[in-house]
Amino acid sequence: MTTRRTEALSRARIVEAAVELLDADGESGLTFRALTQRLATGPGAIYWHVANKGELLDAATETVIAQAVDHPQSGPRDGIRTVALGLFEAIDRHPWLATQLALQLSRSPWGTVTPRIFESIGRQVRELGVPEAEWFTATSALVHYILGAAGQNAANARSAAPGADRAEFLDAVSKVWEALDPDEYPFMRAVAAQMREHDDRAQFLAGIDLILGRITR
């Protein structure tokens, strides 16, 4: 959709439009030509604010993450759960985000995204009374679980057949698990029904609670 520009173009509006394009068409859909059409402007106005696509992807990632972790805190344990769920839902809503986060954390951990995520979790870990020598390890364990589990959940949702009903998909998978060889896969057969009935967010938060239980023990 092309919009008529009625006010001075800002970097924030450019990043907002970039997020919209990424959500609609993925990284391949984010081009400066598409941006100029959406913002009803010329490429020069965009290049005034951002130098290239890499900078734009970084800015889009930073913006989404800032919104995801910006929640009122009500105690460190609830604070961690709130931030974790915010990141989980952001990755679920924005299919391109998991890949960009992996790149940011490995390629440029000195950028703004990695410190923002670690600060939002680490500050709560500190308030839990964890010994200072264990702050980084405990926070890293939580961050790696959050991003890994959220990314896998988003990948699972994308891999399902287009338009497929989640309950039908899980039922089909569980039936395959139940039909596995009982001698070779006794565990998979035993949990097939649990997988069919599980709630993604509840399961995700259960994992957070398991890690918090170990951290605070």
Give per-residue pLDDT as tens, 5-50: 434 689 999 999 999 999 999 999 999 999 999 999 888 889 899 9
CA dist 203 and 91 (Å) reads: 16
Q: Identify whether 13 is part of a domain.
A: no
CA distances, 122 to each of 22, 48, 110, 155, 158 (Å)? 29, 36, 16, 27, 31
Mean pLDDT, residues 145-169 taken together:
80
Q: What is the CATH number of the domain that holds 197?
A: 1.10.357.10
- Give residue 153's pLDDT: 87
For the chain, percent of residues with pLDDT exceeding 90? 70
pLDDT at 104 over 80: yes
pTM: 0.85
CA dist 203 and 85 (Å) reads: 11
Give the Cα-Cα-Cα angle 79, 107, 123 (nearest 5 degrees): 20
CA dist 148 and 102 (Å) reads: 9
Q: Identify whether 36 is part of a domain.
A: no
pLDDT at 62 over 90: yes
Q: Identify whether 92 is part of a domain.
A: yes
CA dist 89 and 154 (Å) reads: 9
Burial grade of 83 (CB within 10 A; 0-12, 13-18, 19 or more): buried
Mean pLDDT, residues 189-216 taken together:
92
Q: Identify whether 141 is part of a domain.
A: yes
Q: Identify whether 16 is part of a domain.
A: no
How many CB atoms lie under 10 A from the CB of residue 92? 18
pLDDT at 3 over 60: no
The total number of structural domains in the chain stands at: 1
**DSSP per residue over 90-156, as a string?**
HHHH-TTHHHHHHHHHHH-TTSSHHHHHHHHHHHHHHHTT--GGGHHHHHHHHHHHHHHHHHHHHHH
pLDDT range class, residue 163, cuts 50, 70, 90? low
If you search the block for the tokens 């699972």, which residue do you land on?
A: 156
Mean pLDDT, residues 162-176 taken together:
82
- Give residue 160's pLDDT: 61
Q: Identify whether 48 is part of a domain.
A: no
- Give residue 112's pLDDT: 86
Q: Identify whether 178 is part of a domain.
A: yes
Domain that holds residue 179: 73-216
Query: CB of 95 within 8 A of CB of 116?
Result: no
- Give residue 162's pLDDT: 58
Mean pLDDT, residues 40-61 taken together:
91
Q: Identify whether 30 is part of a domain.
A: no
Q: What is the mean pLDDT of the chain?
A: 89
